[in-house]
Protein backbone atom coordinates (compact mmCIF):
# COMPACT_ATOMS: atom_id res chain seq x y z
CA UNK A 1 0.00 0.00 0.00
CA UNK A 2 2.83 2.40 0.94
CA UNK A 3 4.64 1.47 -2.27
CA UNK A 4 1.53 2.38 -4.29
CA UNK A 5 1.20 5.76 -2.59
CA UNK A 6 4.87 6.49 -3.06
CA UNK A 7 4.59 5.61 -6.74
CA UNK A 8 1.60 7.96 -7.12
CA UNK A 9 3.45 10.80 -5.44
CA UNK A 10 6.51 10.25 -7.63
CA UNK A 11 4.43 10.26 -10.80
CA UNK A 12 2.51 13.38 -9.60
CA UNK A 13 5.76 15.18 -8.79
CA UNK A 14 7.21 14.24 -12.16
CA UNK A 15 4.13 15.53 -13.98
CA UNK A 16 4.26 18.85 -12.12
CA UNK A 17 7.99 19.21 -12.73
CA UNK A 18 7.79 18.41 -16.44
CA UNK A 19 4.82 20.77 -16.78
CA UNK A 20 6.81 23.54 -15.10
CA UNK A 21 9.78 23.25 -17.45
CA UNK A 22 7.53 23.05 -20.50
CA UNK A 23 8.43 19.50 -21.55
CA UNK A 24 4.85 18.55 -22.31
CA UNK A 25 3.57 21.92 -23.53
CA UNK A 26 0.10 23.39 -22.97
CA UNK A 27 -3.11 22.00 -24.43
CA UNK A 28 -6.18 23.99 -25.47
CA UNK A 29 -8.43 22.89 -22.60
CA UNK A 30 -11.27 25.36 -23.06
CA UNK A 31 -13.50 25.66 -19.95
CA UNK A 32 -11.37 23.78 -17.43
CA UNK A 33 -10.94 25.76 -14.22
CA UNK A 34 -10.73 25.73 -10.45
CA UNK A 35 -13.64 27.33 -8.60
CA UNK A 36 -14.78 28.50 -5.15
CA UNK A 37 -18.37 27.67 -4.19
CA UNK A 38 -20.51 29.50 -3.32
CA UNK A 39 -19.35 32.21 -5.69
CA UNK A 40 -21.33 34.87 -3.81
CA UNK A 41 -22.83 35.11 -0.33
CA UNK A 42 -24.02 37.67 2.23
CA UNK A 43 -22.97 37.21 5.86
CA UNK A 44 -22.76 39.29 9.02
CA UNK A 45 -19.63 40.36 10.88
CA UNK A 46 -18.19 37.51 12.95
CA UNK A 47 -20.30 34.75 11.37
CA UNK A 48 -18.76 31.59 9.91
CA UNK A 49 -19.54 29.77 6.67
CA UNK A 50 -18.20 26.92 4.57
CA UNK A 51 -16.85 27.02 1.02
CA UNK A 52 -15.77 24.27 -1.37
CA UNK A 53 -12.78 24.39 -3.72
CA UNK A 54 -13.07 22.09 -6.71
CA UNK A 55 -12.10 21.52 -10.31
CA UNK A 56 -14.46 21.58 -13.26
CA UNK A 57 -12.80 19.63 -16.06
CA UNK A 58 -15.48 20.28 -18.71
CA UNK A 59 -14.68 16.96 -20.39
CA UNK A 60 -10.89 17.33 -20.14
CA UNK A 61 -8.93 14.72 -18.22
CA UNK A 62 -7.60 16.39 -15.05
CA UNK A 63 -5.08 14.37 -13.03
CA UNK A 64 -3.50 16.92 -10.67
CA UNK A 65 -4.21 20.47 -9.43
CA UNK A 66 -1.92 23.08 -7.86
CA UNK A 67 -2.56 26.52 -6.38
CA UNK A 68 -2.71 28.74 -3.28
CA UNK A 69 -5.74 30.08 -1.37
CA UNK A 70 -5.94 33.80 -0.55
CA UNK A 71 -8.37 35.05 2.15
CA UNK A 72 -9.47 38.69 1.99
CA UNK A 73 -11.33 40.10 5.04
CA UNK A 74 -11.87 36.50 6.14
CA UNK A 75 -10.01 34.37 8.66
CA UNK A 76 -9.42 30.70 7.90
CA UNK A 77 -10.80 28.42 10.61
CA UNK A 78 -10.07 24.99 9.11
CA UNK A 79 -9.40 23.16 5.82
CA UNK A 80 -10.51 19.58 5.16
CA UNK A 81 -9.19 17.63 2.16
CA UNK A 82 -11.61 15.26 0.38
CA UNK A 83 -11.11 11.56 1.15
CA UNK A 84 -11.01 10.42 -2.52
CA UNK A 85 -8.01 12.53 -3.62
CA UNK A 86 -4.25 12.18 -3.02
CA UNK A 87 -2.65 15.34 -1.62
CA UNK A 88 1.06 15.86 -2.37
CA UNK A 89 0.89 19.08 -0.38
CA UNK A 90 -2.16 19.49 1.85
CA UNK A 91 -3.40 23.09 2.40
CA UNK A 92 -3.69 24.43 5.96
CA UNK A 93 -4.80 27.78 7.40
CA UNK A 94 -1.20 28.70 8.13
CA UNK A 95 0.02 27.45 4.70
CA UNK A 96 -2.84 27.42 2.14
CA UNK A 97 -0.73 26.10 -0.76
CA UNK A 98 -1.88 22.80 -2.25
CA UNK A 99 -0.79 20.15 -4.75
CA UNK A 100 -3.44 17.45 -5.05
CA UNK A 101 -3.56 14.41 -7.34
CA UNK A 102 -6.79 12.85 -8.59
CA UNK A 103 -6.58 9.03 -8.80
CA UNK A 104 -7.52 7.76 -12.27
CA UNK A 105 -7.99 11.44 -13.24
CA UNK A 106 -11.45 13.05 -13.70
CA UNK A 107 -13.39 14.57 -16.59
CA UNK A 108 -16.23 15.98 -14.47
CA UNK A 109 -16.73 18.40 -11.59
CA UNK A 110 -14.89 17.27 -8.45
CA UNK A 111 -14.52 18.83 -4.96
CA UNK A 112 -10.90 18.79 -3.75
CA UNK A 113 -11.28 20.27 -0.24
CA UNK A 114 -13.57 22.45 1.93
CA UNK A 115 -12.81 25.59 3.94
CA UNK A 116 -14.44 27.00 7.06
CA UNK A 117 -14.03 30.81 7.14
CA UNK A 118 -15.06 33.56 9.55
CA UNK A 119 -16.33 36.93 8.33
CA UNK A 120 -14.25 39.98 9.20
CA UNK A 121 -15.28 43.64 9.12
CA UNK A 122 -18.35 45.02 7.37
CA UNK A 123 -17.73 45.45 3.63
CA UNK A 124 -16.56 43.00 0.98
CA UNK A 125 -14.61 39.76 1.36
CA UNK A 126 -13.30 37.06 -0.96
CA UNK A 127 -11.60 33.69 -1.30
CA UNK A 128 -9.37 33.68 -4.37
CA UNK A 129 -6.86 31.31 -6.01
CA UNK A 130 -3.40 32.16 -7.24
CA UNK A 131 -0.64 30.12 -8.93
CA UNK A 132 -3.25 27.77 -10.41
CA UNK A 133 -2.17 24.93 -12.68
CA UNK A 134 -4.31 22.01 -13.84
CA UNK A 135 -2.40 19.03 -15.17
CA UNK A 136 -3.74 16.35 -17.52
CA UNK A 137 -2.07 13.32 -19.06
CA UNK A 138 1.29 14.75 -20.01
CA UNK A 139 0.15 18.38 -20.51
CA UNK A 140 -1.01 21.48 -18.64
CA UNK A 141 -4.72 22.29 -18.93
CA UNK A 142 -4.46 25.96 -17.97
CA UNK A 143 -4.72 28.23 -14.94
CA UNK A 144 -8.27 29.56 -15.00
CA UNK A 145 -10.06 30.04 -11.69
CA UNK A 146 -13.36 31.45 -10.38
CA UNK A 147 -13.15 33.26 -7.05
CA UNK A 148 -15.76 33.62 -4.31
CA UNK A 149 -16.86 37.21 -3.55
CA UNK A 150 -18.93 37.94 -0.42
CA UNK A 151 -20.74 40.84 1.24
CA UNK A 152 -20.25 41.29 4.99
CA UNK A 153 -22.95 43.26 6.80
CA UNK A 154 -22.65 44.84 10.23
CA UNK A 155 -24.57 43.25 13.06
CA UNK A 156 -27.75 45.22 13.71
CA UNK A 157 -28.26 45.90 17.42
CA UNK A 158 -31.96 46.03 18.25
CA UNK A 159 -33.13 49.23 19.93
CA UNK A 160 -34.47 48.47 23.40
CA UNK A 161 -38.12 49.30 23.91
CA UNK A 162 -39.21 51.08 27.06
CA UNK A 163 -42.63 49.99 28.26
CA UNK A 164 -44.37 52.03 30.95
CA UNK A 165 -47.21 50.25 32.68
CA UNK A 166 -49.86 52.21 34.54
CA UNK A 167 -52.31 50.74 37.01
CA UNK A 168 -55.71 52.38 37.35
CA UNK A 169 -58.11 51.95 40.27
CA UNK A 170 -61.27 50.19 39.08
CA UNK A 171 -64.42 52.26 39.43
CA UNK A 172 -67.53 50.75 40.93
CA UNK A 173 -70.50 50.80 38.62
CA UNK A 174 -74.08 50.87 39.91
CA UNK A 175 -74.44 47.27 38.84
CA UNK A 176 -71.47 46.10 40.92
CA UNK A 177 -71.95 48.40 43.96
CA UNK A 178 -73.81 47.03 46.99
CA UNK A 179 -77.45 48.01 47.37
CA UNK A 180 -78.77 50.32 50.06
CA UNK A 181 -82.36 49.90 51.11
CA UNK A 182 -84.26 52.56 53.08
CA UNK A 183 -87.64 51.57 54.54
CA UNK A 184 -90.04 54.19 55.95
CA UNK A 185 -92.80 52.79 58.15
CA UNK A 186 -95.80 54.79 59.35
CA UNK A 187 -97.40 53.91 62.67
CA UNK A 188 -100.89 54.78 61.45
CA UNK A 189 -100.73 52.58 58.34
CA UNK A 190 -99.35 49.20 57.36
CA UNK A 191 -97.71 50.52 54.14
CA UNK A 192 -93.90 50.26 53.84
CA UNK A 193 -91.93 52.31 51.27
CA UNK A 194 -88.57 50.87 50.12
CA UNK A 195 -85.89 53.05 48.43
CA UNK A 196 -82.90 51.23 46.82
CA UNK A 197 -79.49 52.93 46.63
CA UNK A 198 -76.39 51.42 44.86
CA UNK A 199 -74.10 51.88 47.89
CA UNK A 200 -75.11 49.84 50.91
CA UNK A 201 -78.18 48.36 52.54
CA UNK A 202 -79.66 50.45 55.36
CA UNK A 203 -83.13 50.30 56.88
CA UNK A 204 -84.55 53.52 58.38
CA UNK A 205 -87.95 53.39 60.12
CA UNK A 206 -89.84 56.64 60.76
CA UNK A 207 -92.64 56.24 63.32
CA UNK A 208 -95.36 58.90 63.55
CA UNK A 209 -96.81 59.43 67.09
CA UNK A 210 -100.19 57.75 67.56
CA UNK A 211 -103.15 60.16 67.32
CA UNK A 212 -101.07 62.87 65.64
CA UNK A 213 -103.74 63.47 62.97
CA UNK A 214 -106.57 63.50 65.55
CA UNK A 215 -104.54 65.94 67.64
CA UNK A 216 -104.33 68.36 64.74
CA UNK A 217 -108.18 68.35 64.33
CA UNK A 218 -108.77 68.77 68.10
CA UNK A 219 -106.42 71.75 68.19
CA UNK A 220 -108.50 73.51 65.47
CA UNK A 221 -111.80 72.93 67.36
CA UNK A 222 -110.27 74.07 70.64
CA UNK A 223 -109.28 77.36 69.03
CA UNK A 224 -112.88 77.98 67.89
CA UNK A 225 -114.28 77.05 71.35
CA UNK A 226 -111.90 79.47 73.04
CA UNK A 227 -113.13 82.31 70.80
CA UNK A 228 -116.85 81.55 71.40
CA UNK A 229 -116.51 81.27 75.23
CA UNK A 230 -114.17 84.29 75.36
CA UNK A 231 -111.40 82.15 76.73
CA UNK A 232 -113.44 80.92 79.74
CA UNK A 233 -114.13 77.46 78.48
CA UNK A 234 -117.71 77.67 79.84
CA UNK A 235 -120.13 75.71 77.66
CA UNK A 236 -123.16 77.83 78.61
CA UNK A 237 -121.45 81.03 77.58
CA UNK A 238 -120.53 79.36 74.38
CA UNK A 239 -124.15 78.39 73.68
CA UNK A 240 -125.43 81.90 74.43
CA UNK A 241 -122.77 83.41 72.26
CA UNK A 242 -123.74 81.07 69.48
CA UNK A 243 -127.44 82.03 69.76
CA UNK A 244 -126.61 85.72 69.72
CA UNK A 245 -124.47 85.23 66.63
CA UNK A 246 -127.29 83.29 64.98
CA UNK A 247 -129.90 86.01 65.80
CA UNK A 248 -127.61 88.72 64.52
CA UNK A 249 -126.97 86.89 61.29
CA UNK A 250 -130.70 86.12 60.85
CA UNK A 251 -131.66 89.75 61.46
CA UNK A 252 -129.06 90.96 59.03
CA UNK A 253 -130.42 88.64 56.35
CA UNK A 254 -134.01 89.78 57.08
CA UNK A 255 -133.11 93.44 56.95
CA UNK A 256 -131.28 92.90 53.65
CA UNK A 257 -134.34 91.20 52.13
CA UNK A 258 -136.75 93.96 53.28
CA UNK A 259 -134.50 96.66 51.92
CA UNK A 260 -134.38 94.84 48.64
CA UNK A 261 -138.22 94.68 48.45
CA UNK A 262 -138.62 98.38 49.22
CA UNK A 263 -136.14 99.19 46.54
CA UNK A 264 -138.07 97.07 44.07
CA UNK A 265 -141.42 98.74 44.97
CA UNK A 266 -140.14 102.25 44.35
CA UNK A 267 -139.16 101.24 40.88
| Total domain count, the chain | 3
At 18, is the secondary structure helix, strand, or coil? helix
pLDDT in tens, the chain (267 residues): 444 455 445 445 544 444 443 433 444 445 789 999 999 999 999 999 999 999 999 999 999 999 999 999 999 999 999 999 999 999 999 999 999 999 999 999 999 999 999 999 999 999 999 999 999 988 899 999 999 999 999 998 887 877 777 776 666 555 555 555 555 554 444 444 454 554 444 555 545 555 555 555 566 666 776 776 666 767 777 788 778 888 888 888 888 888 888 877 654
Q: Which secondary structure element, helix H or strand E, spans residue 8, and what is its range?
A: helix 2-21
Decide if 162 is inside a domain. Answer: no
Q: Give which of 202, 208, 153, 167 is closest to 185, Cα–Cα.
A: 208
In a domain, 167, yes or no: no
Neighbours of 215 (CB within 10 A): 10
Give the domain range for residue 239: 220-262
Cβ proximity of 34 and 144 under 8 Å: yes
Contact between 129 and 69 under an 8 Å Cβ cutoff? The reply is yes
Q: 81 with 44: CB under 8 angstroms? A: no
pTM above 0.75, yes or no: no
Q: Residue 22 belongs to a domain with what CATH number?
A: 2.60.40.680
Shared domain check, 204 and 135: no
Cis peptide before 260 (omega within 30 of 0): no
Amino acid sequence: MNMKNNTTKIILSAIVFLSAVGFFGTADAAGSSLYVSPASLTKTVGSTFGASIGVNAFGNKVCAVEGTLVFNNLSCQSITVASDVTPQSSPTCSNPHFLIGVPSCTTVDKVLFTVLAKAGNAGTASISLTGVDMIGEGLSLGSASINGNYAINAVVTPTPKIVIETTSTPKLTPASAPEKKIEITSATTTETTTVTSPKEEEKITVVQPEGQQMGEKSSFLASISSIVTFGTGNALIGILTGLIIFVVVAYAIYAFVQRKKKSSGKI
